Structure 1
């Protein structure tokens, strides 16, 4: 079953066609990667899917419903969440509190109930704290929950962002460069987290430059070049596609991708 799909999605900036007629369909529980050279339109595509940019052309469907150009908060309520290339962390809050922020869609936000600290609010806060602690454990940060986020190493912060995105209980999780800036050990930790998430039934769509990570964990890969779809298929199919090798992977990266199988 398709949980996320785009049909002919496109957008221009100042006469430059940044994304041009991009269509794909992602199945439930799948790890679907979008790759391409710098400037290929990957993050722009994410921004249209997640409601940050209005799409002048095309359609976005979530769980079979047309959600084209819905605002980000409505998409989140329907089950779509995302992370960003640059860290969006509340550094003075604890790791646990950062994740709890992502629970707001599942909480009663009545001001008077909170001011009076009604029993329902106390119970709700307890449930949010418990679920947030579970998500920290999922991403391997259970021992860091009480620490200010600003004290966490970079790789841990990347996983903290993933935990917070999961706090909204999404059907589809968009990860924009989840391993960007990470060393080999940190990348392996992100790799493990993504596979755990997919194993729980959450569909993961990621933009990523680390070809070892992409080739290892992706069920299917969609390749963009200059805003247009160049290829789509399994890691093996993409790795063997001459057009992909010429446009993006190159001889060295193609060999690196092949090493990811071992």
Structure 2
């Protein structure tokens, strides 16, 4: 069974059709990339899948159960997590504290226990801290645990966001331009991290403009243009599709994609 099934989904804003009848499915452990020119509807599609927007047509299913229009917090509880194109980091908190925030779904203490300062709260905080440290280790940031997030580089913050998303123990992880603003070394680190997450059985869906990264790590690629599906398939077939080259990749992007295969 597919982890994620999107069927004929669409939405308009005023007279503008932002996403027009898009369908796709993602399997466990798969890296599924969504590419296309600016304004193609990629982030809008993410917002429809993750409950930020309610679709005007079509449906979304997670593990075979319809979740269309559910609020984002309910989707997180059901196994979906995402990061955003613009960093959503608590800059005055440490890296560890940022990840601990993401662990709240697994916590068993109550508001009353927190107010009364019961021993169960201290026990839960220790459990949460241990879990957050393990997640920082998983993304290669254990050494930054006690550093204020505001002092960290952009590439490190991108991995920190992924660690916090993983704190929800998702089966489906959506990444909105994880490599944007990263240098070559940071992108290579993200490449390895995303592949490792997928090897653990998590389905990864990403929006990305770095064609070298997309073609290197993706199992399948969906190309959007003007809110519609232009092409879908393995990276090799997508990068050689004349319609994709004309609408998005162009000569430069095609060469970048070609280099990723070697």
- Common fold: TM-score over 0.5: yes
Partner of 1:182: 182
Query: How far apart are the structure 2 equivalents of 1:166 and 1:74?
Result: 16
Partner of 1:151: 151
Partner of 1:201: 201
Q: How many residues align?
A: 262
**Alignment deviations for residues 175-211 of structure 1 (CA, whole Å, 9 cap, x no partner):** 0000011111111111111111111111100000000
Q: CA deviation at 1:109?
A: 4.7
Partner of 1:16: 16
Alignment pair present for 1:224 and 2:229 = no
Query: How far apart are the structure 2 equivalents of 1:215 and 1:201?
Result: 20
Alignment pair present for 1:40 and 2:40 = yes
Q: CA deviation at 1:131?
A: 1.1
Q: Secondary structure at the match of 1:2?
A: coil
Partner of 2:130: 130
Query: How far apart are the structure 2 equivalents of 1:47 and 1:226?
Result: 16
Residues 109 and 120 in structure 2, CA contact (< 8 A), matched pair in contact too: no
Partner of 2:2: 2
Query: How far apart are the structure 2 equivalents of 1:148 and 1:161?
Result: 14
Partner of 1:118: 118
**Structure 1, gaps ≥5 residues long:** none
Partner of 2:57: 57
**Structure 2, gaps ≥5 residues long:** none
Q: What is the root-mean-square deviation of aligned Cα atoms in Å?
A: 0.9
Partner of 2:170: 170
Query: How far apart are the structure 2 equivalents of 1:4 and 1:120?
Result: 37
State the TM-score, normalized to the length of structure 1. 0.98
